Structure 1
Amino acid sequence: MPTPQSQSQSQSDRILDFAATGMWWEVTKTTEETNGASFEAINIVVSGFEGPPLHIHPHAEEIYSVLEGKLDVYVNGQWRTLGPGETATVPVGVPHTLKNPHPTEVRLINIHQPALDIERMFRRMHRLIADGKLTLPPKSFSATVLISMLFVAHSKEIRSIKPPHLVMGAFAILGKCLGYRLPV
């Protein structure tokens, strides 16, 4: 039986606070809980959120299901606004991003399947943001280096299209040469 301390630790492990970027997540199904079949989280995205860089998932699909608010999703060259009850599925290898230009926050379910190592990538990104080392979009040289290193370290899970993966690769190499390190 879990102790109150392990329960609170377990619950705190469920929150990935990317507040500096305009969102936070509550993990609803970990990679371990699904035996790697998927990783699922409820995302809260604030008004004005500019979204991640245009990217692909080379070996997994991603699903956005809006619970509250409106979310703009860019999939394979087209923007689409999703409202409550609407879903967008991004097939393997298709360029996509998202943003919230609407006046209210959006609450959505985000699923990656299969999970691969995407949860670890998001947990590493969370640690960098929590430690004040990373902003999204990157606003400093060190933030650019760290997000590049993160994407390159997890290129099986995610690859940037804009900026190109090769550019991120160059920044990642430079970062390693300069002694930058990602959290474990």
Structure 2
Amino acid sequence: MWWEITKSTADTGGELFEAVNVLAPNFAGPPLHVHPTAEESYSVVSGTLDVCVGDQWRKLNVGESVTVPAGVPHTLKNTSGAEVRLVNVHKPALGFERFFRRFHALARSGKMKLPPSDLRSAILISMLFSEHPGEIASVKPPRRLMIVLAFVGKLLGYKLPPGP
């Protein structure tokens, strides 16, 4: 997964953060999570996106979108054999830009594999989530487990990129 920021937090005065996300074929997606005080929307530009909102999965095709209210568990994945492009908006912007820039830095450095297929990657994602509780909280795996993994990461001396 990669993304390009199209409207930064500064561009919108904090109203929203927008990026074009590109999901590789058969991308497993992030863990089931919530945004405690922000809504998130996905608008499909190309391909077919699988989205789970609450406990309901549905497919979104080109031109379709969904908005997930604050506090509602959700995730996404690409089960197709083709790339998916979508416009992703978090509203309000909060610290999402910093979260995604840090996430991107970890993935590009090779320190974190996606999806997390090793303990180090799971620990780093847990540390990142734990440092951004106002933006994102894991539902599955449980948030408590991620907090424990983040603590283990700190004990092991793992570091996150500072971000902007």
Q: TM-score range by the shorter chain?
A: over 0.9
1:39, 1:86 → 2: CA distance?
Answer: 20
Q: What is the RMSD computed on CA atoms of the aligned residues?
A: 0.8
- Bigger mean CA deviation after superposition, 107-116 or 136-145: 136-145
Alignment equivalent of 1:113, drawn from 82, 86, 91: 91
The answer to which structure, 1 or 2, has the higher relative contact order (CA under 8 A, 6+ apart) is: 2
Return 5+ residue gaps in structure 1 as ranges: 1-22
Opposite residue 121 of structure 1, the aligned amino acid is: F
Alignment equivalent of 2:60, drawn from 63, 79, 82: 82
Structure 1 residue 181: deviation in Å?
Answer: 1.1
- Bigger mean CA deviation after superposition, 55-64 or 98-107: 98-107
Structure 1 moving runs of 4+ over 2 Å: none
The residue that corresponds to 1:19 in the other structure is: none
2:8, 2:149 → 1: CA distance?
Answer: 30
Alignment equivalent of 1:163, drawn from 135, 141, 151: 141
Q: Between the two proteins, what is the percent identity of the paired residues?
A: 57
The residue that corresponds to 1:92 in the other structure is: 70
Q: TM-score, normalised by structure 2?
A: 0.96
Opposite residue 142 of structure 1, the aligned amino acid is: R
**Superposed CA offset, 1:42-61 (max 9, x none):** 11112101110000000100
Secondary structure in structure 1 of the residue aligned to 2:75: strand
Opposite residue 21 of structure 2, the aligned amino acid is: N
How many residues were matched structurally? 162
The residue that corresponds to 2:125 in the other structure is: 147
Opposite residue 124 of structure 2, the aligned amino acid is: L
Q: TM-score, normalised by structure 1?
A: 0.86
Larger Rg: 1
Opposite residue 136 of structure 1, the aligned amino acid is: L
**Superposed CA offset, 1:9-46 (max 9, x none):** xxxxxxxxxxxxxx211110001111111100111112
Structure 1 residue 69: deviation in Å?
Answer: 1.1
Structure 1 residue 89: deviation in Å?
Answer: 0.4
Structure 1 residue 174: deviation in Å?
Answer: 1.2
Return 5+ residue gaps in structure 2 as ranges: none
